[in-house]
A and B are shown apart, each in its own frame.
Chain A
Amino acid sequence: MRFAFDDDQLVFAEALREVLSKECGPDVVRQAWGGESSADLWRQLSDMGVVGLLAPEGVGGLGLTEIDLVLLLVEAGRAAAPVPLSDVAAVAIPAIRDHGQTDDAESLLGDMCSGARRVAVGLALDGGIVEGAVGAAAYLLEADDGLHLVDPDVVSLEPVTSVDGARHLSRVTWTPSDATRLSNAVVGARQAADRSALAVAAELCGLSHTMLGMTVGYVSERKQFGVPVGSYQALKHRLADALLALEMAQPLVWRAAATLSTGDADASVHVSMAKAEASVAAGIVSHAALQCHGAIGYTVEYDLHLFLKRAWALQRRAGDAAHHRRRVQRAILG
């Protein structure tokens, strides 16, 4: 028994955190709000091996598993990186790796690892709302009969505005056909839903860390009545509760990553526990962060809203807390 990450995993996460702190500050997130693509950032993530981490080494990936990826997604969340990393690295690549039956699949995987081509992901739980659909080379879409890998010429995109302006969303409509259906498409859809929920849960943990850290920093400096507002118990207790929620969600996320990696029979239930609690924690942390900041947090000049809005967007992505608790409930109560 050892419930901790190994040194390689921690070092990789630390390296990514350093890169993102330089290359993906709030200014970069704001550029994405302005409609700019984050192509440079995507290239860097590809070059580091983050994007292709789950792809086989033969196509330019690292051949690793979810337990190696999960901390990197936390880092992406911490920076509110304006890129569809979870969709591509955690969902599309392993789906095509496992169920892509064509020769094209291998070249597509290679191009995804290098960053040359990107696949956008639309799973059923997300209601046809897809991030990064414009400019995608292909679409991994879920229909009633499972996962399909679809070319751009058969989808139609209707741009929609996210509460988080750094997420470039479209409503995707298309007509499934046997030609686009992946092998083991139903199994693939189930796996994709689990991987997506795990990845989003990890991003939410990272976002929560940032929101909590910003808030602790702000309330330690901001003075009212002659003292830092963070010295008041009302704020201390609210932030202690926020930390507690985050600290108790994280181990569920780590366990889900571990059991998805090893193909444990209970992995799906573990994922649902993780996503449910990460969503709840992000809700608690984001509201505490806003309230403890006071009026400054309710502005667009201050950076907090970049993280709040990402958290709001992701809380209900890949299944909200109620959805995932129902899955857990079925497992424990039958």
Chain B
Amino acid sequence: MDLTWSATEQAFRGEVRAWLEANVPSPPLPSGDTAGGFALHLDWERALHARGYSAVSWPTEFGGRGASLWEWLIFEEEYYRAGAPQRVTQNGIFLLAPTIFEYGTKAQQEWYLPRMSAAEDLWCQGWSEPNAGSDLAAITSRAARDESAGGWRLTGQKTWTTRGAFCTHLFGLFRTDPSAERHRGLTYFLVPLDAPGVTVRGFGRLDGDEGFAEVFLDDVFVPDGDADPAAGGTLGVIDQGWGVAMATTTSERGLVLRSPGRFQATAERLIDLYRSSGTDDPVLADALTRAWIGAEAYALYTLGDVTQITEGNSPGARSSLNKLCWSELDIELHRVALDVLGPEAEVDGAWNRGWQFALSGPIYAGTNEIQRNIVAERVLGLPRVGR
């Protein structure tokens, strides 16, 4: 066991901290989940990219800086500590990209990854459909074979697509074998949203921002595999998209999407809030302490996870524990903050916004009820029959 950072890692931290201190926008940018805010966030994303910070753990050839997983954790700690903007590119960089690294052809990697890290292509996730949320295998959007054109024709509807109204591309699952059921016969598609036949309609989330969209696909042509990446394509083997998608969902549940630095930074800000509020309520102080310990526990749990990953052991279904932890921790941190604010909590502000966003955590990326099933069945080994 070694809980110290190397000289190289410390130097990396110093470099990141100095750059963020000089460059993080002040006052903070408006929400990136609105049309106007999104555009401002793209400027920020491009500034990150110019510095090699948009995807630090990627190889330099794709726009990253070849950082280790440890350095990525350090980057994230510093990023959230500095109060830097939300990452409107996250669904591409943190969710799709790991899947492209694992399943993409060389041509796909070379086309999509640099454009993604440069915030030229902006990706949204096309999993959910009106009748397929937690039960992802129930999707009905389909892709019909168009042999003469060398590709597929996509028809169906995706929904609750985060930032779908502002993004340029969608990745998602479509049914390519109409005779197959459930998780068989699905294929992973990459779709430009400016393709003929795509209609996107944004709508308001609980917090009022236009952060959601419905995406309607009506006979949208997507070419085979990597034949013409600019026009979209398929990722991985046809009809085997479920396995490809699982790589994305594992990233989504696990530490890649929600590194501990974010929650430790929230915990630090909560302490500042408590101090500046002048309260000395012992009940609030204890609740704050519990939440703060929770952030510490998640950070340490992640250090263990990263140690295992760097030594070649995949967390697998244990990533569901990780998702349960951070999503509930985030709610707890914000709940305490609102209690500290008291009557001020009602007034629109960062904590109130953060609270509303935190409430989405146990819903997105697979509801926490689904995660508990996964933990019970695949980590504890309880019987799958029933429910």
B271-300 contacts to A (CB < 8 Å): 271, 274-275, 285-286, 288-290, 292-294, 296-298, 300
On chain A, the residues within 8 Å of B307 by CB distance are 1-4
Q: Which residues of B contact A328 (CB under 8 A)?
A: 289, 292-293
A-B contacts, 13 listed (Cβ < 8 Å): A3-B306, A3-B307, A216-B380, A216-B382, A230-B376, A233-B387, A236-B377, A239-B380, A244-B321, A254-B300, A273-B293, A325-B290, A332-B289
Q: Is the CB of A231 within 8 A of B297?
A: no
- Bound CA–CA A332/B296 (angstroms): 12
CB pair A220 B383 closer than 8 Å: yes
Q: Contact string, A219-254, partner B, CB cutoff 8 A, digits 1/0?
A: 110000001101111011101110110011101101
Given contacts A3-B300, A248-B301, contact A254 B1 (CB under 8 A): yes
Distance to closest chain A CB from B134 (angstroms): 12
Is A333 located at the chain interface by the 8 A CB criterion?
yes
How many whole Å from B386's CB to the nearest CB in chain A? 3
Is A32 an interface residue, CB under 8 A from the partner?
no
Q: Which A residues are in CB contact (< 8 Å) with B9?
A: 1
> Chain B at the A interface: mostly helix, strand, loop or mixed?
helix
A141 contacts the other chain (CB 8 A)? no
Asked if A144 is an interface residue, CB under 8 A from chain B, the answer is no
- The stretch from B158-166, B218-226, B233-241, B367-375 touching chain A is B367-375
Contact of B231 with A by CB under 8 A: no
Tell me the bound Cα distance from A6 to B325 in angstroms.
26
Q: Which among A3, A232, A249 is the interface contact of B297 at CB below 8 angstroms?
A: A249
Chain B nearest CB: distance from A292 CB in Å? 10
Does A230 contact B383, Cβ atoms closer than 8 Å?
Answer: yes
Q: Are B381 and A1 in contact (CB under 8 A)?
A: no
Return chain B residues, CB-CB under 8 Å to A4. 1, 304, 307-308, 311
Tell me if B350 counts as interface (CB < 8 A to partner A). no
Question: Would you call B3 an interface residue if the criterion is a C-beta within 8 Å of the partner chain's C-beta atoms?
Answer: yes
Verify B288–A333 contact, CB threshold 8 A: yes
A190–B196 alpha-carbon span in the complex (Å): 72
* CA–CA, A5 and B325, complex, Å: 23
User: Main secondary structure on chain A at its contact with chain B?
Assistant: helix
Shortest Cβ distance from B71 into chain A, in angstroms?
10
Q: Which A residue sits closest to B324, measured CB to CB?
A: A244
Query: Which B residues touch A248, using CB under 8 A?
Result: 294, 297-298, 301, 325
Residues of A within 8 A of B325 (CB): 244, 248
Known contacts A235-B376, A239-B382, A328-B289; 10 further A-B pairs (Cβ under 8 A): A227-B383, A228-B382, A228-B386, A230-B382, A231-B382, A233-B386, A236-B377, A240-B380, A244-B324, A277-B293
Residue B137 lies at the interface, judged by CB distance under 8 Å to chain A = no
A230-B382, A231-B386, A243-B375 are known contacts. Are A255 and B300 too (CB-CB below 8 A)?
Answer: yes
Nearest CB in chain A: distance from B370 CB, A: 10
A230–B373 Cα gap in the complex (Å)?
Answer: 11
Interface residues on A, range: 35 or more
Complex: how many Å from CA A227 to CA B387?
Answer: 10
Q: Are the CB atoms of B386 and A1 closer together than 8 Å?
A: no
Q: Are A241 and B372 in contact, with the CB atoms below 8 A? A: yes
A259 at the interface (CB under 8 A from B): yes
Whether A3 touches B3, Cβ cut-off 8 Å, given contacts A277-B293, A332-B292, is yes
Contact B376 A239 (CB under 8 A): yes
Partner of B372, one of A1, A5, A227, A236: A236
A237 touches B376 (CB 8 A): yes
Given A236-B376, A247-B301, A251-B304: A329 touches B285 (CB 8 Å cut-off)? yes
- A113 contacts chain B at the CB level, 8 A cutoff: no
Shortest Cβ gap from B103 to chain A (Å): 29
**Is A67 positioned at the interface, with any CB of B under 8 Å from its CB?**
yes
In the complex, A276 has a CB within 8 A of chain B: yes
Shortest A62–chain B CB gap in Å is: 17
Assess the B375–A227 pair: CB atoms within 8 A. Answer: no
A325/B289 in contact, CB under 8 A? yes
By Cβ-Cβ distance, the 7 closest A-B pairs, closest first, are: A231-B386, A236-B376, A251-B300, A3-B303, A240-B375, A240-B372, A231-B383
Shortest Cβ distance from residue A202 to the other chain B in the assembled complex, whole angstroms: 14
| A276, B294: Cα distance in complex, Å | 11
A258, CB-defined interface residue at 8 Å: yes
Does B384 sit at the interface, judged by CB under 8 A? yes
Could you tell me the distance in whole angstroms from the C-beta of B282 to the nearest C-beta in chain A?
Answer: 9
Asked if B5 is at the interface of the complex by the 8 Å CB criterion, the answer is yes
Residue B179 interfacial (CB < 8 Å): no
B61 at interface by CB-CB < 8 Å: no
Do A231 and B384 have beta carbons less than 8 Å apart?
yes
Q: Check if A258 sits within 8 Å of B3, measured CB to CB.
A: yes
Contact with A along B251-281 (1 / 0, CB 8 A): 0000000000000000000010011000000
Residues of A within 8 Å of B377, CB to CB, are 236
- B203 interface hit (Cβ, 8 Å): no
Indicate if B26 sits at the interface (CB-CB under 8 A): no
A244 → B minimal CB distance (Å): 5
A322 CB-CB contact with B under 8 Å: yes
Question: Which residues in B have their C-beta under 8 angstroms from that of A233?
Answer: 369, 372-373, 386-387
- Chain B contacts of A273 at CB under 8 A? 293, 296-297
Instruction: From the candidates A67, A243, A252, name the one contacting B293 in the complex (CB within 8 A).
Output: A252
Quick check: A237 and B372 within 8 Å, CB to CB?
yes
Contacts of B289 in A (CB 8 A): 325-326, 328-329, 332-333
- Minimum CB–CB distance from A260 to chain B (whole Å) comes to 12
